[in-house]
Structures are given as structure tokens and as C-alpha cells.
Chains A and B, each alone.
Chain A
Amino acid sequence: MSVAATVVLAGAHQAYLLQARQMQALSFSVHIPLVCFGIAFPAMILFVEWLYLRTGDELYRTLARRWTRVMAALFAVGVITGTLLSFEMGLLWPSFTATFGSVFGLGFAIEGFSFFMEAIFIGIYIYGWDRLSPRAHFWSAIPIVISGFTGSLMVIAVNAWMNHPSGFRLSAGRAVDVHPLTALFHNSFLWPELVHMYIAGYIVTGFLLAGAYAFGRLRGRWGRYERTALAIPLAIAALASPVQVLIGDWAARDIATSQPVKLAAIEGLAKTTKGAPEHLLGWYTEGQVKYGIAIPKMLSLLAFHNPDATVKGLDTVPANRQPPVNVVRVSFQLMVGIGTLLAALGTIYLFVRVRHRRLPESVWFYRALLLAGPASLVALIAGWVTTEVGRQPWVVYKVMLTSQAVTGASGIPIGYATLALVYLGVAVAVVWILRRLAAMPIDAHGPPSSAPAARQAG
């Protein structure tokens, strides 16, 4: 491979742009599910510990401690996968970082402090179970919950800026007149994205956890411990999933104005249309959606609250500035379809809980719950594919092409293959450890996150 470029913005010649993108996508797809646990798990554990403090019921303490072990393992993997992502800012997209680091970098710098707080207090929380006073231990988790939020705020601020850039001018390929605070936080795109992702964290964590205990129930494990462990995350996920539909709709309306091409790709709308229809399912070919169910004027109504509004189509930009329609469209439909089903499942649960004051009894409910966890993960990744692939070919919307951002270094396919192998190993390791933790007897009171047989100190 020739290594040609010398000037920062000069798009390096990179024959393996697609592999670089896939490597980025792989890294994200591994990190983001773990991040969901970073967002939502501490709050859930904290709530259970609070129940313990209030009632003195040992069951809550056992539950919180067992969850703490899971959190510890997932956090460690979250840290390393996140580290890889920050390396990739230079490994894969050095021109992007070199050109715009001064604009968006502040977000990551502040995020660094969130990570500090998270890591520090997670250390204290995990290892302080037996040594700190119950009250001090409880309080040590508050910073974890807060930094889970600020951490996502900062990354999302960067991503929102990439999707809706402002706060700088370009002059001879360099960013000048830079106002990082404006760029990051004075951005209408940030808020729907942040809330949507934050709630997604609770949905994913809630359904995955509840699903684990639903599996137990289907296998006949259904004591008071399991019922409690199922009810708490399920309550959260069930409440959050109908809300997510409303937030998602808000995000879509935002896109309609700020990223019309992405919306056109999401909907498979080839030409600018007045009173545009919405298509459910189907496949986009030759400028139209085939085999889909068309709902007249629905798109205009949803996007602009006006059945006769004009929706911009893909034809507003040249073909080489359009994202791959079907990838975006299928991902979006997957997310919305799953999101709707999850909202339905959540509503059923809420109804039974409020009306009959008990957990649902039907086996089918628990079977559905078993699926809801993995499905919410699919929705999560599909949502990110919609956002990121929908922005293509731009890395910074209408400012920098992904092909200009990519590294000029050779060896991307080797790196990609290596990473894929390593992550496969990590995935196997995570599954192994989760099963190990689940198999530990419920009343085990060993120290969290360390081998039960570990040397006893002091």
C-alpha cells in the first residue's frame, strides 16, 4: 500500500475505507450494549440497596451484591472497549481528529472526568461492600449514576455535532473561529439524541435482566428472590419503552428539518414529495419502495404535523452524496418495529401490575420477555446504524467526507481481522463469566467480583 498524503486534510488514499468503517461499526456494536449497563445498572442496584437500607431485608442485600458482581465484570469490559474507541479516533480517522479535534474534543475531555468519577466510585462501591458503613456505601454509588449520565451526554454531544455541525468555520482545510461550547451544547440535535440513548440504556438493561429471570421462571426457578429480581428491572423497562416511542418520534421530526437526506433514506423517498406517504416494510429499488404497505400522507403528517407538507427526497443531493438507502431503511424499520412491540409488552405488564396487583402469570408473557432483551439490543444497534450510516458519506455532515477522514496507514484489513478475533474471544469470555456468576448459589456472601476462593486479607 502506498502511503501518500502529507497534508492533514488531503484525503489520504485508502483502499480499505469500507473495512475501516466496518471496524468502527464492530467496535461500537460491542461497546454500546455495555454502555447501557453503565447507564442503567448502577441506578437499579442503588435502588435495591436503598430498599435494603429501608427494610433491613437481607434479600435485597443479596440481590444488590449479586448484581454488583455482574456490573463489575461488564464495567471492566466497557472500559476496554471504550478505550479502543478512543484509540480509533486516531487509528482510523486521524484526519477527522486532526481537523476537528479543536471543535469537538472538549466533549471527550470532559467525558474523561466522567470516566474518572465512574471508575473511582465503582472501585469504592464494589470493594466497599463489607468495609464501609451501609450509609457511606450507598452514597458512594451516587457519583456512578451521575457520571453515567454525564458520560453519555458528552459522547452524544460529539455525535450530535457530527450530525449537525456548527461552532466553527473552515478556512483552507483548517477549522478556525472555533467555539467549542457552541459546537457541542448549542445544538438542537443533541437533546432528542441524548434522551433517546439514555432511555435506551434503561430499556436494554431492564429487559435483558428481566429476561434472565424470565428464563429462570420458565425453568421453574421462581422464589421470592427471583420475583423481586425480575420485577424491578421489568418495571423500569416497561415504563421506559412506551416513552421511547414518543422520544423517537421527536428525534425523527428533528431529522426532518436538520438532515432531510437521512429522513429520505429512512423512508425510501426518492423524489421531493408534497403530502408524502409512509411505507411500512418493503424494499427500496429503482427509486421506490416495493412490496411495502403505503399509508398516504402519513410521512408528511408525522414529520411536519401537516398532511400536505413537502418532504425532501434523495434527489435533493447528487447520487454520490446519498447514504445506502436499504441499510438505513431496514435498520430504522427494525428499530421502530421492535420499539413498538416492546412498548406493547411494557403496556401489558403495566396493565396487569396496576389492575391485578401481581405479576403476569401466562407462560407466553415470560417467553416474550425472554426475547425482549435481545430484541432491545437489536433495536439499539439498528438505531445507531440508522444514525451513522444515514449520515454517510459524510463523517461531519456536509463538511467532511468519511473518505477524507480515514487514515492513510496500511494494514486495516489485518487490524480488522485481529480485532474481530479478539472481540470474539471477549464475547465468549463475557458469556462464560455471566454464566459462572449466575450459577453461584444465591446465598453466597463472598466478596463481589473476586474469586470466592481468593485469599482472605487482614
Chain B
Amino acid sequence: MHLYELPLLFVLVGLVFYVVLAGADFGAGFWQLAAGRGEAGARVRDHAHDSMAAVWEANHVWLIFVLTVLWTAYPRAFGAIASTLSLPLFIAAIGIILRGAAYALRAGASSASERRPIDTVFALSSILTPFALGTMLGAIASRRVPVGNAAGGLFSSWTGATSILVGVLAIANCAYLAAVFLAADAARLNERELEDGFRRRALAAGVLAGACAIAGLAVLHTDAHPLYSRLLHSSALAAMIVSILAGSATLELVRRRSFALARYSAALAVAAVIAGWGLAQNPTLLPGLSVRAAAAPHDTLVAVVVAVLAGAVILFPSLALLFRLQLAGRLDHGSAASSHPAPGGSLLSASAPGLLTRLAGACLLAGFGFLTIAEAGWAHALGVFALFGFLILGFAALEFASEHDRPLGAGSGEA
């Protein structure tokens, strides 16, 4: 593995996380649409919403990660892809906006009749977005994105058979992942009825997604022959086999209600497909543009690799914490009795406000002197620190003063 390939590996890893984690969130939207009417439908929709509520923003960031690493490490490829595929990219953007807005809106909805239309917008955009993103991957895979600024067709580049295939596959895959995850969540919550429902959905969507994938090989054979032959004749084949095995194992696990394991095997199946695609595509990124030629200069690659590795050190423990809390039901709705802190006394015992006020004033003066009057760089830095000192001390003076003798709070007792 060369340095210039390493960021691409990060991109693919990020893509796997995005497809698995955010994919499941998109799929949750899909099942909201298919939930039907009435009480039972509302319960399915609420379950789908609650399961992703705490995590969808974090899952969404994987997409940002993929984009930023791509445009930093392979800027020419990014420019070509984004400009030629501007239409599906824009459609995905609109989908993401509508979806996030619908999510925010749901917090204000107070009745089922208000939630219905919001959930519908959410669900439709949850289908539109993976489809649009899928067509983009299909366009790249079928070599329809030439190098240059919008050098490919505005429509033709992403409406080929491969694009449509990957788009549909993306939706099927989201639905499948979501059903597995939601069944697992329902099992965790002891919601037997929901669990059964999502188990059935998972089995159906799994079979469908598998069938789609196999039928897709025929599409690749005619529409993207270079990719097709490389998929079957290189190490990519091994990845494909892993994917098929993991996919079948997932179905079996779901059938047996081993949902916790099924989560991982489903993720593995997806990861293997993406790995296979990456291997089959290597070493060309776009027609006439190899990974090596597309890569940024050496210093940038080093910086990206270091930044991503360092970022991973803080990211993965944080993600683990989030998912552990979620899986342990610590982020569910409803209130478990939480302990309350012992009432403390006054915040501040000394007659500090006066002192704080004077110190804050001194900082403000110092800030003015160093930042505004003085000219040197170091003086400016000092000045900025002094001004922040003014902000913090001044705030402390105000707040502690109010806490101390409660001139604001000691009202006539209205709440």
C-alpha cells in the first residue's frame, strides 16, 4: 500500500460506516412510509424515529468525512465527480435538508395528525437521498465521469443502467439494514409485536436486496463490463463471496432472532461489497485518472493521514460510548428516576463580586492597551487573552453577584 492510496482507504472505510449506520437511519424512514395507518402504523413510525433520534447526526457526519477526505487527498477527482454529477448531488442535498428539517419539526409536533405529514416528508426524502447517492456511485463505477469541470453529461452520466441499479440497491440495502437494526432494538425493549414485524420485514428486504444484487451482476455485465470482469477475476471475487456468505448468515440469524449478531453480519456484508468495488476499481479512479495521478502532493497526504489517525483516536472511543449508551437503553425516551444533586449552599461565600468587577475592569483596560494601542503580534495575543479574561471575570462577577444576594431571583415567588 502506497501513501497515495491510504486516504482512499479512509474514504472507503468512511463509506462503509456511512452506508451501514446512516443507511440504517435512511431505512428507518423507508419503513415509516410503509408503516400503514392507524395505531399500529403510528407505533412503527415512533419506534423507527426513536431508534435513530440520538445517533442520526453522528451517523450523518460520515458523509462529510468522506467528502472532505476526498477533496483534500484527491481534489481533481472530487472536482470532476461533483461537477459532472451535480444533479444527483443536488438532489441528495435537497433530500438531506428536507429530512433534517422534518426531524427537527417532529420535536414540535404535538399530535399524531401533525406527525403524519412530517413523517411522510421524512420518509420520502429518506428514499430519495440514498437513491441519488447510489446513482453517483453507479456513475463512477460505470466510468461515466470524465476528468474535468462538468465534462460529463448532466443527465446521461448518472442515468445509465448501473446507476439505476446501484440507486435501487441502495434503497433496498437501507431498508434491509434498518429492519435488522429496528428488530434488534424492539427485542431489546421487549416489544414483541414490533420485533416480529421488523423481523418479517428484515427477511423480506434481505431476500429482495440479495436478489437485486445478483440481478445486478447481469446489468454490470452489459453496462460496466470492465468492472464486471475485474469483480470476478481478482481479489475482488473473494470480497464478493464474503458478502454473499455474510448476507446469508444474516438472514439465518434474523430467522433465529439472534439480532445482536445479525447487526454485525449485515454490516459485514455491506462492507465486503464496498471493499470488492474498491479492489475492482483500483488503480483507476476515473477514466484516465489513476489514484496516483489524482493524489494531492506529498505533504498534504501526510497531513491527512496523520489528522485522520489522530482523529480516529478520539472518534472511536466517543462513538463506542454513544452506541454503548444507546444499546444499553440509556438514551431512550421516558424518564428513569434520576438522582438529584444535594442542594448546595450559595455559590460563593466571599465578598468576591466587587473584587471580580475590579479585576474584569483591569483586564478590559489591559486588552485595550495591548490589542488596540500596541502594534506587536505578541502584544495582540496578550490583548486577546486579556479581553477573554474580561469576559470570564465579568460574567463571574455578574452571576455571582446575582447568586449572592439574589437581586434578580428573589422575586415575589412566581414561578
Contact = CB atoms under 8 A, between A and B. Distances in A.
Given A54-B347, A83-B63, A119-B57, A175 B368 contact: no
Given A100-B75, A409-B83, A457 B322 contact: no
A105 B72 contact: yes
Interface stretch (A284-292, A361-369, A370-378, A441-449): A441-449
Contacts of B105: 429, 432-433
Nearest to A95: B149
B395 A124 contact: no
5 contacts: A79-B100, A105-B296, A175-B297, A436-B108, A457-B332
Given A131-B331, A447-B334, A458-B329, A102 B300 contact: yes
B60 A119 contact: yes
B330 A128 contact: yes
Interface string B274-311: 00000000000000000000001101100110011001
B103 A415 contact: no
The DSSP consensus for interface residues of chain B is helix
A246 B372 CA distance: 7
Interface of B: 43, 46-47, 49-50, 53-55, 57-58, 60-61, 63-65, 67-69, 71-76, 78-84, 86-87, 89-90, 92-94, 96-101, 103-112, 115, 147-151, 154, 189, 296-297, 299-300, 303-304, 307-308, 311, 314-315, 318-319, 321-322, 325, 329-336, 338-344, 347, 357, 364, 367-368, 371-373, 375, 377, 380-381, 383-384, 387, 390-391, 394-395, 397-399, 401-403, 405, 407-409, 411, 413-415
Contacts of A122: 57
Contacts of A69: 107
A223 interface: yes
B107 A72 contact: yes
B83 A455 contact: no
Given A119-B60, A122-B57, A130-B338, A451 B106 contact: yes
Contacts of B375: 305
Interface residues of A, number: 137
Nearest to A353: B398
B50 A454 contact: yes
B46 A455 contact: yes
Given A101-B75, A124-B322, A455-B50, A176 B330 contact: no
Contacts of A127: 53-54, 331-333
A250 B380 contact: yes
Contacts of A222: 414
B411 A224 contact: yes
Residue among A8, A73, A457 with most chain B CB within 10 A:
A457
A117 interface: yes
A26 to B, nearest CB: 13
Contacts of A458: 189, 329, 332, 334, 336
Interface in A1-58: 3, 5-8, 10, 12, 47, 51-57
Contacts of A250: 371-372, 380, 383
Contacts of B46: 454-455
Interface in A379-412: 407-411
Given A94-B79, A128-B331, A433-B104, A113 B314 contact: yes
A212 interface: no
A425 B146 CA distance: 36
Given A8-B149, A126-B54, A188-B377, 11 more contacts: A55-B343, A55-B403, A77-B100, A83-B96, A101-B74, A105-B73, A111-B68, A231-B398, A358-B407, A430-B101, A458-B336
Nearest to B301: A102
The 10 closest A-B pairs by CB, nearest first: A90-B82, A98-B79, A105-B72, A101-B75, A56-B343, A102-B296, A80-B100, A436-B108, A127-B331, A113-B311
B90 A110 contact: no
B409 A224 contact: yes
A230 B350 CA distance: 25
A54 B344 contact: yes
Contacts of A176: 297
B151 A75 contact: no
B108 A73 contact: yes
Given A79-B100, A90-B83, A455-B47, A108 B107 contact: no
Given A52-B341, A94-B150, A178-B299, A73 B107 contact: yes
Interface in A182-204: 188, 191, 195
A123 B344 contact: no
Contacts, number: 418
A258 to B, nearest CB: 13
A124 B82 contact: no
A429 B53 contact: no
A452 interface: yes
Contact of A131 (B57, B336, B402): B336
Residue among A12, A113, A458 with most chain B CB within 10 A:
A113
A103 interface: yes
B58 to A, nearest CB: 4
B71 to A, nearest CB: 4
Nearest to A182: B299
Interface stretch (A232-240, A259-267, A273-281, A327-335): A232-240
B244 to A, nearest CB: 32
A456 B101 contact: no
Contacts of A178: 296-297, 299-300
A114 to B, nearest CB: 9
Nearest to B411: A224
B333 A116 contact: no
A76 B296 contact: no
Interface string A52-90: 111111010000000001001111110111111011011
A389 to B, nearest CB: 24
Contacts of A120: 58, 318-319, 321-322
A224 B415 CA distance: 6
A353 B103 CA distance: 40
A454 B53 CA distance: 12
Residue among A134, A246, A250 with most chain B CB within 10 A:
A246
A80 B101 contact: yes
Contact of A94 (B83, B330, B414): B83
Residue among B82, B307, B332 with most chain A CB within 10 A:
B82
Contacts of A170: none
A236 B402 CA distance: 14
A243 interface: yes
B154 A179 contact: no
